[in-house]
Structure 1
């Protein structure tokens, strides 16, 4: 449909930092007009289809950085079709996909496959990342210029941290010359190798291999030093410890082009949730202390942490139904990102601030059009009820893999409808 009016909604504008009742007029896939609540819609739009939002929240669609879609090599874990359905049901309108697939996205051909496949199969927007080095081995940089021409929005080796600072500095220098964004995974690879949990009393009692939170700070400090040396645009994909925040704050104060993200799991869970070796809670980096979790929430509220993401990492039953130390890391999050984020709202983070981290800031960092509720912006929108309670059943998730740590938990926040370019791609039955 070329025109649609969404009436009686709570409009979230993350750029202006406002939440207000009103109406939204969509035309030709874009937001055409934003109207105040007291405007007589029936008189103004006599021949236009309308949808009464019933006073629920209407916000820009989520732009989720760091989604792993396992095509082509591990389609049994996740495909673009299932990831797209899960994303639409979770209010995600743009998936920023990771390159750590089989094969690695490190050539224009593999990137074009992912982009073409995602665009055809998934009902939303796909923004692919590419590897920083060939096969994520940390030895030889990829052909960044060709990959950017093919549509790469950023370059990252993910959790395969580049150990050789000379290789990383050369890659950053080249990225700087192209204006490319480099994403790092702050972690000292030597200290974190083989770790399953965060070091401390809990890890000792459970007898599990652990890593100090300082490993993250050490990895971040190294990356920031190289950023200062090269002038590259840099994004830390996941920070999770309070010890890392002063370094990030200093880098921003010094004027470095640096941003940082945090996963929803590190904002809503802590190390004690592992309990009796529950492998669905094994993620990378490992869950941290409650003090670290609270520090991350405060950093999101203050704007020090720029981005909140799902870090969607599907793992099949066989890779999770193992002893904790041997089980694969990762959790699905596309469909649970929004209701999990509502825990932050109920803890005091307001919706415009949260949506700045979920939608506006990712769009700005990656140079995407979305993330805004303003005239002329793409009509990528999510309509949701932030207070609707439910108990999560992992079997109802659309992802092929069901490895969510929120299984059986009481949650709040239901996505009612999702729109991409003004077209409805999900409607809750």
Structure 2
């Protein structure tokens, strides 16, 4: 029998979890707080469930230093569901702001308001997408499916600068963002901070999205969540599926400006959206509804929230005043060790993305230029060493070492030692 301590798992998601959290989970699944029932059996509306929600919110707030004017939501849609949720919620807010402005100008003439609003939507509604990998591409495709191609502006398609493949992020002066002059601009700008499949990570927040007239920014941080410092104030919406770096499969975490919620802001009515041929989102993806009900509008999987809370509380305890900066140091060190080895043996290994945008979380490379037999040999040898989950995504192949928080420094060093041995014997 293979023991958990015998292996180091580099899978991209579902990803490894801290052993201590899983050991505690095995206990609370049977008997939570000596109540005689397991954590999966308690009511999501019980005091215990509300306590878990509060503790998990506090842990993430402490780690990322989330300001008081932000709300934290838990949804069951995963990161993919948020591709849709961002469109539903933020387009609705954009439309309502435009309607209110027109109504100020024309008064109570509802027919005229609707006429002008139709024109504004047709001519001005744009969603900007920075497509740097497979997941941001899927997000842009979902937006196109929901509201139509004419409203979706792919301001950056990274493949155009890299022979049709992902692996670079073009300079910002080459992006075609929707102009923000004279009160215009997109309903939001969307980017994926770390592309799990393609191993591309934004090295920093884009400068072109900063400033007093900055648009609403939505960022998918599924696979680099709680791995480095984040200036939350620069974002309108941050979301991530838990299963890559925070917990197990089942929830998405959303960090949202409260100014996008009632009473500060509201979206267009469903009737108005239908009049404008724009989609009305399902209630389970409606941010105001989820926020109003403390993420408990429908039955939330409290066990999944508990796991995420335990993972993040462990980081709070481990790093203290450093907060997420402590984990960032470890993440950077692990990725440095692996990339240094790949570069050292460049005759054997080739890192897929450009050096300027290499992901610290998902390290994608090829062996002997992508030789199928050599890569199979690499994976087989790694498995014999207890180094698992290294096969690249099915859409791109190759090797992928996902360097998530639960991968220990020891595990990274063992992978490096194996890579050294393989390169020398190849």
How does the TM-score come out when normalised to structure 1? 0.31
Give the structure with higher Rg (CA): 2
Structure number with higher strand proportion: 1
How does the TM-score come out when normalised to structure 2? 0.31
Instruction: Using CA pairs under 8 Å that are at least 6 residues apart, name the structure with larger relative contact order, 1 or 2.
Output: 2
